[in-house]
Amino acid sequence: MTSPRIRVAAYVIRAGRELLVFDHVGMPEAGTQIPAGGVEEGEGLREAVLREVAEETGLRTAVVVRELATEDKPHPTTGEPRRTVFFRLEVPGDTPDAWVHEVSGDGGDAGLLFACRFLRLPLEEPLVDDQHVWLDL
């Protein structure tokens, strides 16, 4: 059996009541998501989640509060095994409401534009790939 790809996902919370999400500019079929991605070789999980938030949203003010859950679930399109560790992070209350960020790093998303924004909790609509399921922890 193939070992799962190890990933991290970030619930970035502002003012205790808003969740950071993003949409791919020009790709509505990708759905509304939270920052998430693979852990690099030799990288710790907390380090990885902060890197993913910075790469996908440009935010460098996020602070890890705690690890919430670990989910073993295959990739929604490829079916490849993956293990995702979900974290709660917080950002200052003066973080902007919305912005567009060009994805950095050397991953497959590099160069894409993500429209970032905060949504009030509880969410009115589910996130893509059921990324919202661990929010209540």
Over range 6-25, report the average pLDDT: 97
Return d(Cα 101, Cα 126) in angstroms, integer. 22
pTM: 0.94
Confidence of residue 110 (pLDDT cuts 50, 70, 90): confident
Q: Give the domain CATH number at 93.
A: 3.90.79.10
User: Are the C-beta atoms of 95 and 61 separated by less than 8 Å?
Assistant: yes
Over range 6-14, report the average pLDDT: 98
- Count of CA atoms in the C-beta half-sphere (13 A) of 72: 4
The pLDDT, as a whole number, for residue 1 is 61
Query: What total of structural domains would you count in the chain?
Result: 1
Residue 17 lies in a domain: yes
Over range 50-78, report the average pLDDT: 95
Residue 20 lies in a domain: yes
Task: Tell me the helix, strand and coil percentages in the chain, rounded to 5.
Answer: 15, 40, 45
Highest mean pLDDT, choosing among 72-76, 94-98, 108-112, 133-137: 94-98
**Residue with the larger pLDDT of the pair 25 and 1:** 25
Over range 39-59, report the average pLDDT: 97
Sequence length of the chain is 137
Range of the domain at 26: 5-130
Return d(Cα 5, Cα 37) in angstroms, integer. 10
**Residue with the larger pLDDT of the pair 63 and 136:** 63
